[in-house]
Each structure stands twice: as C-alpha cells, then as structure tokens.
Amino acid sequence: MNRKLIGVTALLLSIPFYAQADAVSDLEAEYQAQGGTNFNATAGEALWNKEFIDAKKGDKRSCTKCHTADLKKPGKHARTGKAIEPMAPTVNPKRLTEVKQIKKWFVRNCKWTLGRECTAQEKGDFLAYLKNL
Amino acid sequence: MTQRKRKGGVRETKVRVWDIPIRLFHWTLASCFVIAWFTLDNRYLDVHIFAGYLMGGLILFRLLWGFIGGPYARFRDFAFNYSKVQNYLKDVLNKHPPRFLGHNPAGSWAIYLLLGLGLSVVITGLLTFGGEERQGPLAGLLNFPQGRFAHELHEWLSWLMLGVVIIHVMGILVESMLHRENLVVSMLTGFKTSAAGAISTLSHWKIGATMLVAIITAGLFWFQGHLTETPEQLYQPFHGPALPDNSLWREECGACHLAFHPSLLPARSWRAMMQKQASHFGEDLFLEQDAVNKIETFLVENAAEQGLTEAAWKINRSIPQTEILLRITETPYWIKKHQEISDAVWEHPKVNGKIDCAACHIDAAAGTFEDAAMHLPDDVEATATSE
C-alpha cells in the first residue's frame, strides 16, 4: 500500500523530466529519420553563437541576439524588446518540454536568424547543446 | 441691506460680512477652477476629476447656504432685478456707485452666473467622463459620439465661465478702487468697515472646520493610491472595463511582443494580418490553420469597430475606410497622440521603440489605454523635458 503510494508519487514527480526527455528524444529521433547523425553539443554551441548577415537588411543576426550567450540569463527580443525567459532547462524547467513549441520556434527563429529553415542536423545539434545546460 | 453714505464724522466699526464657510467656499472654488484649467492634459485626469467633484460639492453647499447661511450669504440679500443692475452700472460709469456691504447688484449677477455655469461645467464634465472614458457615476450613459458632444459643451461652458471669472475679478478691482477699500482682503479676513449699527454675521467656524475636514479627507481618500505606489506597482487611478480575453491569442500573439488588444485595429486589418501570417513583419509565425482561425475569430469579434474602448472608437474613425493598415502605430489617431514624443524618448533604453506600449501605458496588457494610465518611465521624463 505504502510502497504503491511512494511509487505513484515518484512517478508524478518525475513527469516534468520525462516530458523534457520525451520531447527532446522524440525530436532527435525525428531529425535522425530525416538524415541527421551524431548530434553534437559543441557544433550546436558554435552555431548558436555564429553570426549570419541578413541578405536583405545586411545586419548581423545570431541566436544570442535574443537569447544572449549566457543561457541561464533572461534574454530580450532583438526586435521588440520583450523579455524572454532563460533558455537553460536547469534554470527554466518549462524549456524543451513540448514538441510543437520547439518545432514552431525552430521555424520562426531559424528563418529570421539564418534566413532559411535549419536542417535536421542543425536542429539536432542545437538540442544536444541546449538540453544539457 | 446696509448702505453707507460717505459722510465725515460718522464713527466706523469693523463688521464681519463673510463667514468662514463662505470664504472657504470662495477660495476653494477659485482654486478648483484654476487647478482644473491646468490639468486638462489627460495624464492628470484624476486631479482634474477631483477638482470637478469638489467644485460640484462646493456649489451644492453654496446653494444650500444661500437659504440657511448668515445674512450676507443669503440669496435674498442679493436678489437684484435687472433695472437695479442697470442703475448700479450707470453709477459705476459716473464713478459714484453706492456701496453695499454684501454683494452689489452687478456682482450678484456674476455670482449667479458663476454658480450656474459652474454647475453646468460639472454636469457636462460628468457626462464626458461617463461617455468618453466610461468612468464615474454616469459611466456608459452616453455613447462615444454623445460623450464627445458633451466634451465640446464642457469646453465651451468652461471658456464662458472663464470669461465671467475675468469680469468678476475686474469688477472687484473697479469697486475696490472706487470705494478705496480692499475687497480681496475682505474675502480673506471676512471684515469690512462700516458705520456703526451694521450687523455682523456669525463666523460659523464649526461648519467651516467640518468643510475643511471633509475636503481634506476626500482628497486623501481620492489620492491615496499615489502615496502607496511603488516603482514596480505603479498607481493607476482609473481602471477600464475588463475587455474580452482569449488564452490562445494571449499566448501566441504575446510571445514576441505585447499581445496588442483586438480593439486597437479594425477587423479588415486583422484578417489581412492573419492571412499573411507567414510574413508577419519579416517573421514566419508558422501557426497551424486551426490556431489561425481561432485567433482570427477572436480578433475580428473584438476589433476596433466594436468600440469597446475610447481608443478603439477613436482609432477606427481615424482610418479611411479604404485603407488596410497593419500597424497600430501607423493609424492617424495613434500618430496624432504620439507626435510630440521626441526621438530621444523612443530610443531611450527603457523604451523599446514605438511598439513597446507597456513602457508608457500601465494598462497596455489589459488593452484599455485609459487616459490617466499613461506614465512615462521616470528618467524618460527627464529626457523629454530637457529638450
């Protein structure tokens, strides 16, 4: 009886972690199916900090422009000034918990930053970098 | 009525003509008038409204005091008909007007006019407040166009009242000179000099003290929010009605910037914006069709045409029917309201450009944009005034 209760409680408590692990590993599996391999946190970090020149406006863009380089700190939207909560899942447990959210923001943010959608490899590398912060 | 003939040798005494309630009434009313005049600007609306309420209360008190007050305060002491006024003015032109201890015939007419105009200004003010701002005891009694009409009436009556105030003050100066007495000082001290035998009024200090306590209490009560506000929790004098909300809209449209309330643009703008969601000011919103439909419905149902707020009504009527604007900040009403703001303010670190409504409008997230909820960040104010 008591054991069961502890077991259920432990299960309930672990849901947030499962959710993250779930969302990220689901996506990693998907990106692998699309041709990505050996997702690599170092490559993800490099891409995160890399600057891209916008083809139309000529300004420099990078993921850090909105999320800052220190992912444990809150960011600020480069175009609107709105505050963005920290990216690191250790500081902000809500991060990387929903497949739909992550996909949507990859589309939005890659298009604005890189001027195109990211490849499966790039997205996998980003996740490998972000998930362990 | 006590008239004094200027004959030498008559013993003169001090007579109390104006009791304390009358003097308090007079100077507070005058202050209210001046204060209201200097707080026309929307951002001081709560002060303006307080001055108006106080003015209304004072005038009602004065009407009552005209029947139950001291001898010089009663209306029957200065109920002069037109021919008396005419005769008095003729005497003034001949520089020999008779002297009245209380109000003279011309002065009395100014008093009646001021009381009547004052009351009309207060009533049209309340109608404006209720019609345009949806606030106060008459909230929602008039619609926006009617509220606007009341507003214009309110302004005309105020100008008229200013005219009578000026005539009143000039009359005081002329009479003071002709009779070589200082009527302004009399209204402060309450005393005039007169031949012996003229009656003095009681000071009625208890009633005066009650008035003073009432005014101060009302002021503290009205303005207490200013005393308790903190930089994080700014005081907002008036709260608009709770506007329709939608969690999907707030989440999706509030992710990159303030969730601009649907009432800030017409339906045709929202439809166009949602159709072009893949190129939203250079962003691909990448929303699912289902979400697009739901958000669009919410936006269209509460668009500016619905007139949910004063801003909605004014924004909508400022845009030519043929134009489909995608930016609130490009609507003629918005431009007009913000044209005096300098570039230095827009570029200030605490203001993230024109679309950062919340930097200056405390109620931006609620979407109400109440006039008195406009509050420039403190150091922005310094930049704004130093230019």
CA distance A97 to A81: 25
CA distance A71 to A48: 11
Check residue A24 and give its pLDDT: 87
How far apart are the CA of A109 and the nearest CA of chain B, in angstroms? 8
Task: Give the CA angle between residues B15, B21, B25 to the nearest 5°.
Answer: 115
Strand pairing category for A60-61 and A52-53: antiparallel
pTM over 0.80? The answer is no
Do residue A80 and residue B286 have CB atoms under 8 angstroms apart? no
Nearest to B284 among A79, A80, A107 (CB): A107
Q: At what angle do helices B105-132 and B82-93 cross, to 10 degrees?
A: 120
Residue B57 CB partners (closer than 8 Å, separation 6+): none
Check residue B5 and give its pLDDT: 46
Which CATH number does the domain housing residue B142 bear? 1.20.950.20
Position B240 in a domain: no
> Tens of pLDDT along B234-262?
787 888 778 999 999 999 999 999 999 99
Check residue B281 and give its pLDDT: 94
How far apart are the CA of A86 and the nearest CA of chain B, in angstroms? 14
- Say how many CB pairs under 8 Å bridge A and B: 29
For the cut 50, the answer to whether the pLDDT of residue B2 exceeds it is no
Position B234 in a domain: no
- State mean pLDDT over B272-282: 93
- For residues B207 and B254, state if they share a domain: no
Q: Which residue has the higher pLDDT, B297 or A10?
A: B297
* Alpha helices (H) in B197-288, listed in sequence order: 205-228, 247-253, 267-275
Position B192 in a domain: yes
Q: What are the tokens at A21?
A: 């692990």
If one counts the domains in chain B, the total is 2
Exposed / middle / buried, residue B9 (Cβ in 10 Å: 0-12, 13-18, 19+):
exposed
Exposed / middle / buried, residue B174 (Cβ in 10 Å: 0-12, 13-18, 19+):
middle
Q: Which residue has the higher pLDDT, A73 or B382?
A: A73
Residue B371's pLDDT band (boundaries 50, 70, 90)?
Answer: confident
CA distance A87 to A132: 11
Which CATH number does the domain housing residue A103 bear? 1.10.760.10
- For residues B55 and B203, state if they share a domain: yes
Average pLDDT value for chain B: 90
Check residue B243 and give its pLDDT: 92
DSSP code, position B374: B
For the cut 60, the answer to whether the pLDDT of residue B150 exceeds it is yes
Chain A residues whose beta carbon lies within 8 Å of the beta carbon of residue B356:
80-81
CA distance B346 to A57: 21
Its domain, for residue A84, covers 2-130
> Tens of pLDDT along B77-91?
888 989 999 999 999
Position B335 in a domain: yes
> Tens of pLDDT along B175-205?
999 888 899 999 999 998 887 678 888 989 9
Residue B349's pLDDT band (boundaries 50, 70, 90)?
Answer: confident
CA nearest to B358 within chain A? A82
In angstroms, the first-to-last Cα distance of chain B is: 58
Check residue A21 and give its pLDDT: 60
How far apart are the CA of B349 and the nearest CA of chain A, in angstroms? 10
Nearest to A81 among B282, B284, B356 (CB): B356
- For residues B115 and B198, state if they share a domain: yes
Side-chain-side CA neighbours of residue B275 (13 Å): 9
CA distance A94 to A17: 10
CA distance B283 to B290: 19
For the cut 90, the answer to whether the pLDDT of residue A62 exceeds it is yes
Position B235 in a domain: no
If one counts the domains in chain A, the total is 1
Position B44 in a domain: yes
- For residues B52 and B162, state if they share a domain: yes
CA distance B278 to B290: 15
Do residue A108 and residue B284 have CB atoms under 8 angstroms apart? yes
Check residue B297 and give its pLDDT: 96
Nearest to B256 among A82, A107, A111 (CB): A82
Residue B4's pLDDT band (boundaries 50, 70, 90)?
Answer: very low
Do residue A80 and residue B282 have CB atoms under 8 angstroms apart? no
Do residue A80 and residue B356 have CB atoms under 8 angstroms apart? yes
- In the chain, the amino acid numbered B39 is T
DSSP code, position B244: P
Domain final position from B228, B257, B290: B228
Chain B residues whose beta carbon lies within 8 Å of the beta carbon of residue A108:
283-286
Its domain, for residue B155, covers 3-228
Residue A13, CA distances (Å) to A7, A8, A10, B194 in order: 10, 9, 5, 92
CA distance B175 to B93: 11
Interface residues of chain A, partner chain B, Cβ below 8 Å: 77, 79-82, 104, 107-108, 111-112
For the cut 60, the answer to whether the pLDDT of residue A54 exceeds it is yes
Residue A20's pLDDT band (boundaries 50, 70, 90)?
Answer: low
Do residue B352 and residue A82 have CB atoms under 8 angstroms apart? yes
In terms of Cα–Cα distance, which of B280, B279, B284, B331 is closest to B303? Answer: B331
Q: What are the tokens at B51?
A: 């001055």
Check residue B382 and give its pLDDT: 53
Task: Give the three-class secondary structure for B100.
Answer: strand
CA distance A43 to A130: 11
Nearest to A81 among B283, B286, B353 (CB): B353
What percentage of chain A reaches a pLDDT higher than 70? Answer: 84
Position B237 in a domain: no
Do residue B257 and residue A77 have CB atoms under 8 angstroms apart? yes
* Alpha helices (H) in A41-98, listed in sequence order: 41-49, 64-67
For the cut 90, the answer to whether the pLDDT of residue A56 exceeds it is no
- For residues B307 and B221, state if they share a domain: no
- Provide ipTM, 2 decimals: 0.79
The number of beta carbons lying within 10 Å of the beta carbon of residue B15 is 21
Nearest to B282 among A77, A104, A112 (CB): A112
Q: What is the DSSP string of A87-131?
A: --TTT-TTTT--HHHHHHHHHHHHHHHHSSPPPHHHHHHHHHHHH
Do residue A80 and residue B283 have CB atoms under 8 angstroms apart? no
Check residue B294 and give its pLDDT: 96
Nearest to B286 among A81, A82, A104 (CB): A104
What percentage of chain B reaches a pLDDT higher than 90? Answer: 64
CA distance B128 to B122: 10
Check residue B234 and give its pLDDT: 79
Q: What are the tokens at B218?
A: 């009302």
Residue A3's pLDDT band (boundaries 50, 70, 90)?
Answer: low
Do residue A81 and residue B352 have CB atoms under 8 angstroms apart? yes
- For residues B62 and B112, state if they share a domain: yes
Do residue A80 and residue B285 have CB atoms under 8 angstroms apart? no
Do residue B257 and residue A112 have CB atoms under 8 angstroms apart? no
Do residue A81 and residue B283 have CB atoms under 8 angstroms apart? no
CA nearest to B251 within chain A? A101
- State mean pLDDT over B125-143: 90
